[in-house]
Structure 1
Amino acid sequence: MTKTISVILANMSITKSALLLIDIQDGLDELGYYGGQRNNPDAEGNCRKILDLFRAKAWPIFHIQHNSTNADSPLHPSKPGNQTKSIVAPLANEPVIGKSVNSAFIGTDLKNRLDAQNITDLIIVGLTTEHCVSTTARMAANMGYKVIIISDATAAFNKVGIDGESYEAEVIHLTTLATLKDEFAEILDTQRLLER
């Protein structure tokens, strides 16, 4: 009987979650560079609530930092905007993974780090919903991770359409989440995640 239980336990898939904080950097406050309008001003505060939970539980945390190759970008490594916002600044024991494209998996060792810790589920927060959050979530899902995006811990910028029409940041945010929902990720808000 004991042997049977041991075999069952050995074959069980144990869920293990990690938090990915995507590109929460000072340079993204330069609204003029990114289009002049951003939604969800409380996103960073909600990111901090989730970060505090993961720290309290000693669960895996990964800070993703965008190092733009465009010298004019506020996120270029030579610019002060490249720094992580103080509200979610990494602690000494929390890894910071630099990237230069939208996906946190391209040109980085993120997947190796996740797999080394047997991570199965990713909680994704950060900036921006339509770019690096979306791209990272799609790749993560394609790689077999269960992805949860926290809707009020992400934010988007307004966009100009193909015929010059304007789309407000909230529309971009909600539309992006709609394209990710169910196909690539489960969408929760901060309160629902914390209640879990």
Structure 2
Amino acid sequence: MRTALLVIDVQESFRQRPIWAAINNPGIVDRIDPLVEAARANGDLVAWIRHIEPGTGNVFDPALGFVEYLPGLKPAAGEPELLKTSHNAFTTTNLQQELTAQGVGRVVVTGIRTEQCCETTARVASDLGYETVFVTDATATNPIEHRDAPAGRDLAEILADPRTLGTAAIVERTEYALAGRFATVTDAASAVRDWRGAGA
């Protein structure tokens, strides 16, 4: 069974937001790069997904020029590059058709943000019948404000609010929600070892 590594929204847009200063995994590229190399070495697919919001004037608007991969990530010739406008990587792209055409039955999920686009993609992938692997330390997220928090606060105010959900809690909740239901939860080093073992 062929595997696809999904690299979701690892793009400059996120670094343009003040909340990036509180990201839990600023070195995410260093976690994803070995996975990309392992997938390619095993003859598996690497699919690159970026989030866009055309016409909004925000950091996800392609017109502003921030919808680019973070430095260190570069698709190889022939690897699919998809632009999405939904949280998951399937609904507004042809990702499923691409995976079917490539004979993929297993997906490995990485990217930004852990509990949003990555978790949602993992859930949809599972529902579509893919064996799904979620590489938690090859994802990244930031603290989340309480739903009743006032708008427009700066980062210091957000972090000082005891109702703000920290990144450790977000990651823990995501792993609890996915493991044994929607995905196998693992770490990057283990996923690389699995790929190398599969190619041996």
Conservation of the 8 A alpha-carbon contact between 1:156 and 1:170: no
User: Matches of 2:71 and 2:42 in 1, distance apart?
Assistant: 21
Query: Shift of the alpha carbon at 1:163?
Result: 4.3
The answer for the alignment partner of 1:19 in structure 2 is 5
Matches of 2:125 and 2:189 in 1, distance apart?
Answer: 23
Aligned residue pairs, count: 181
* TM-score scaled by length of structure 1: 0.86
Q: Residue 52 of structure 2 corresponds to which residue in structure 1? A: 67
Q: For residues 65-108 of structure 1, what are the alpha-carbon distances to aligned partners after superposition, in whole Å with 9 as ceiling and x for unaligned?
A: 11124623212111221111131121232110111110111121
Distance 1:41 1:173 in 2: 15
Paired position in structure 2 for 1:184: 182
SS of 1:39's equivalent in the other structure is: coil
SS at match of 1:51: helix
- The normalised TM-score by structure 2 is 0.84
Separation in 2, partners of 1:181, 1:132 = 17
Matches within 5 A, 1:106-117: 106-117=91-102
Identity between Structure 1 and Structure 2 (%): 27
CA RMSD of aligned residues (A): 1.6
Between the aligned partners of 1:174 and 1:80, the Cα distance in structure 2 is 33
Unaligned regions of 5+ residues in structure 2, if any? Answer: 150-162, 195-200
* 1:172/1:72 CA distance change after superposition, 3 Å: farther
User: Tell me, which stretches of 5 or more residues in structure 1 are unaligned?
Assistant: 1-14
Give runs of ≥4 in structure 1 deviating > 3 Å.
none
Larger Rg: 1
Residue 69 (structure 2) aligns with: 84
Amino acid at match of 1:148: V
Q: Describe the SS at the equivalent of 1:160.
A: coil
Tell me the distance in 2 between the aligned counterparts of 1:150 and 1:54: 14
Shift of 1:138: 0.6
Q: Does 1:40 align with 2:29?
A: no
- SS at structure 2 position matched to 1:159: coil
